[in-house]
A and B are shown apart, each in its own frame.
Chain A
Amino acid sequence: MRFYEYESKALFRRHGMPLGEGQIVNSTAEARAAAEAIGGPIVVKSQVLSGGRMKAGAVQFADTPDEAAAKYDFVLPIEVGGETARSVLVEAKSPVAHEYFVSVTWDGRRKLPVLLFSDMGGIDIEEVAETHPEHLSRTHFSTILPLSERIAKEAISSVGVSGGDLNRLVPIVYRLMQVFLQYDLTLAEINPVAKLEDGSFIVLDGHVDMEAEARGDHKKLLAELGIGEDETRQARPPTEFELEGARLNAVDHRGVAGNVVEFDGNLGLIIGAGGGSLTLFDAVRKHGGKPANYCEIGGNPSVGKACNLTKLILGKPGVEKIAVMMNVVSNTRVDIVARGVIKGCLEAGKDPSKVITIFRIPGAWEDEGFKILEKYGVEYCDRSVSMYEAAGRAVAKL
């Protein structure tokens, strides 16, 4: 889950990293007041999660409070990657002498955190990597040895930075590494760290991503930064349908019947488990089908949960029929899922034999499950029908 720039900076500030003067504002008047308080040249930055702010024109400069106010009104409606400003950050514009790039992330191949440092900050780092590889250092570090400033020093000095600049950069980079590990971040990036004309260093722009699994361990921080528990901070905000799916899944702890993602097709999908859902979603699309949703069933959910998920999907506008499909199951029970979806259909006032296009869940307790499906006249198949074929049968019925 990604933090906004102002949240990332608030986190950096707590850890003693140097930042310029700035204020988050939510109205034209506030923007003017903030610019007045700062005095001098101003940067006005839209707060969005997507990249490409600068290109979209959502970062503007101003010399006077009136100009800052006008620039606030200007950036507010600008869409960046389909997203408009959550708030606007008004900051002092500092006279920059040089820009550096620093980032900490995970390297899944080495299974270690990796520190990236470049003395060519402010531009796209992938480009630096391609055109000036000698200006980018990659330094892996241990997660079990105590963290030390030595690693920061090595990373910075290996691109040729020395003298006072090296010694001023080390603590900033070291703190970024600390923050990265301490808060279970998957990315902590400052681009750029600026050396100002007076020789001091400040963080000009930065952002962090926290691992979703670790949210529970950092509740206090998230609350203090004002990040709500229902903010998923995925590429797009969750829809009402998706939030309802999450609520239904949380009702009891038995298994999963959720992870719902909304699409705008006419075929409702009750699919699982993790890998099976990906496979089946692809298969439906390959056959020209239009899924109304993605979801995941797994870990043997209760009948009630499967029933509620079915009702949710059947109740979605535009859904004509549903398909119930999974890979061969060993832990989830076929009969329990069969009961759940049939019950869901009936409670939604639909005839299971008409609304369920196909039931393809082979595996544990399948004989019992097939008896139930038989009784309600639902078309089903066993493992001799592939996932791909089953998806084709479902699509053909629409």
Chain B
Amino acid sequence: MPGLFIDVKVAAEAAKDTEIAKKLVEVCAVDIFAQNDDGSLRVVEENLDECVLCDLCIDAAPKGTVEVIKLYES
């Protein structure tokens, strides 16, 4: 189930990078990121609405690769 309020988009090449994936899992306090068995990144849809808009994920990944979208603004 996607989020009602929040969506998080990660650029495909960043999602494939295990190092970036690991970092994102670490910084997000509400478990929106997880790693697949091959180390690639997965966005945990059921946790999306828990996002606290801290921007730590945006700061942790290469510029422009992670986007946190407020669905209630569109």
Contact = CB atoms under 8 A, between A and B. Distances in A.
7 closest A-B pairs by CB: A375-B72, A372-B72, A303-B49, A339-B5, A303-B50, A371-B72, A339-B49
18 contacts: A302-B50, A303-B50, A304-B49, A304-B50, A333-B52, A335-B53, A336-B52, A339-B5, A339-B49, A342-B4, A343-B5, A343-B49, A368-B53, A371-B70, A371-B73, A372-B72, A375-B72, A376-B72
Contacts of A235: none
B73 A339 contact: no
A123 interface: no
Contacts of B49: 303-304, 339, 343
Contacts of A371: 70, 72-73
A29 interface: no
A56 interface: no
A346 interface: yes
Contacts of A342: 4
A333 B51 CA distance: 12
Q: Which of B50, B52, B72 has the most CB of A within 10 A?
A: B72
Interface in A360-388: 368, 371-372, 375-376
Contacts of B73: 371
B2 to A, nearest CB: 12
Contacts of A346: 4
Interface residues of B, number: 10
A376 B4 CA distance: 11
Query: A-side binding surface: helix, strand, loop or mixed?
Result: helix
Interface of A: 302-304, 333, 335-336, 339, 342-343, 346, 368, 371-372, 375-376
Interface of B: 4-5, 30, 49-50, 52-53, 70, 72-73
B53 to A, nearest CB: 7
Given A302-B30, A368-B70, 16 more contacts: A302-B50, A303-B50, A304-B50, A335-B53, A336-B52, A339-B5, A339-B49, A342-B4, A343-B4, A343-B49, A346-B4, A368-B53, A371-B72, A371-B73, A372-B72, A375-B72
Nearest to B5: A339
Contacts of B5: 339, 343, 372
Contacts of A376: 72
A347 to B, nearest CB: 10
A302 B30 CA distance: 9
Nearest to A371: B72
B28 to A, nearest CB: 14
Nearest to B46: A304
A339 B4 CA distance: 8
A344 B9 CA distance: 25
A333 B70 CA distance: 16
B44 to A, nearest CB: 13
Q: Which of B5, B49, B70, B73 has the most CB of A within 10 A?
A: B5
Contacts of A303: 49-50
Contacts of A333: 52
Contacts of A335: 53
A335 B54 CA distance: 13
A302 B73 CA distance: 21
A304 B72 CA distance: 18
Contacts of A339: 4-5, 49
